[in-house]
Amino acid sequence: MAASADTTTTTPSCTLAGRIALVTGGGSGIGRACCQVLAREGAQVVVTDINLQAAKHTLTLLPGEGEHVAVAMDVRERKSVEDAMKSAQDQCGAPPSLLVNCAGVVTIAPILETDSDSWHKNIDVNLTGTFLVTQTFATSLLENGKDSKGAVVNIASIDGKTGSTNLSGYTASKGGVISLTKTCAAELASKAIRVNCVLPGLIDTPMTASRMRELRENLMRLIPLGRTGRPEEVAEVVAFLLSERSSYMVGACVEVTGGYGM
Ligand code: NAP
């Protein structure tokens, strides 16, 4: 696990007080840091992950015992997404009005060696998952929300803008998330749901620690700030984009990369 700064200290003005925020992939890495920062900002957090145990562990790291909930969700499966959204609404008494699409996977292989299963895994989780969860979230909010004002942040990747060797399925999925963000932003703004995305660079998480060692060493030389990012450095930007402090931002792609890929 990457070292984390203390993200649980209460700030004088909680920018997300009274809001219900659902985070996918909340059991690890950037998703877990998002849960911590959103809870610090006063949101009631619905931690979702394909791994319910990991989501439950995230709960133990959040301020406000008993306030937040953990729900299993496989973002690839419509039924799982709809069941989780319903469970969130039942447990919180209202549908979530804030969403972070963070669940993700990466597979590494040259294009000539990428098989269809590997390709589909990236597309199914990273892109189709973002579509399914956003559609279900927006439907539920517009049908059942007391205050239907919503905000969505998609976690794409700088690789979705630049492309990257040996990451064909991943970069294609993340490029798709960037354009999906803009389409959803254009369609949902008139319904009071703002959609934006964040493009992280190289962030210290289990995803990069265990599976991207070689890539990581090459990339480090290309980061102007000369270091990897911390999950909470992404989460702070996510919290900003979900809050009313970013009320005029729609369809934006915010790079959090230490200067890599600008
Ligand atoms: P991570 O630590 O591996 O967290 C990803 C989480 O998503 C894990 O808990 C994972 O569960 C979960 N997940 C995987 N498949 C899922 C599914 N079908 N449904 C629901 N949850 C699922 O990775 P991370 O680095 O925090 O990445 C979070 C997001 O940031 C991803 O979208 C990633 O592409 C993006 N990102 C990361 C970096 C980086 O440098 N770390 C850079 C750019 C973008 P399991 O562990 O059980 O698979």
Which one-letter DSSP state was computed for residue 113?
G
pLDDT at position 1 is 35
Q: Is the pLDDT of residue 12 over 80?
A: no
**How far is ligand 1, taken at its centre, from the CA of residue 190, in Å?**
30
Catalytic residues: 170
pLDDT at position 242 is 98
**How far is ligand 1, taken at its centre, from the CA of residue 146, in Å?**
31
pLDDT at position 2 is 40
- Among 11-25, 55-69, 213-227, top mean pLDDT goes to 55-69
Q: Is 207 touching ligand 1 by the criterion CB < 6 Å?
A: yes
Domain 16-256 fold: Rossmann fold (3.40.50)
Contact 71, 96 (CB under 8 A): no
Tell me the C-alpha distance between 70 and 256, whole Å.
27
Average pLDDT, the chain: 92
Tell me the C-alpha distance between 55 and 75, whole Å.
14
Q: Is 208 touching ligand 1 by the criterion CB < 6 Å?
A: yes
Every domain of the chain and the residues it spans: 16-256
Task: Indicate the SS3 state at residue 167.
Answer: strand
The per-residue pLDDT for range 97-121, each reduced to its tens digit, is: 999 999 999 999 999 999 999 999 9
pLDDT at position 64 is 82
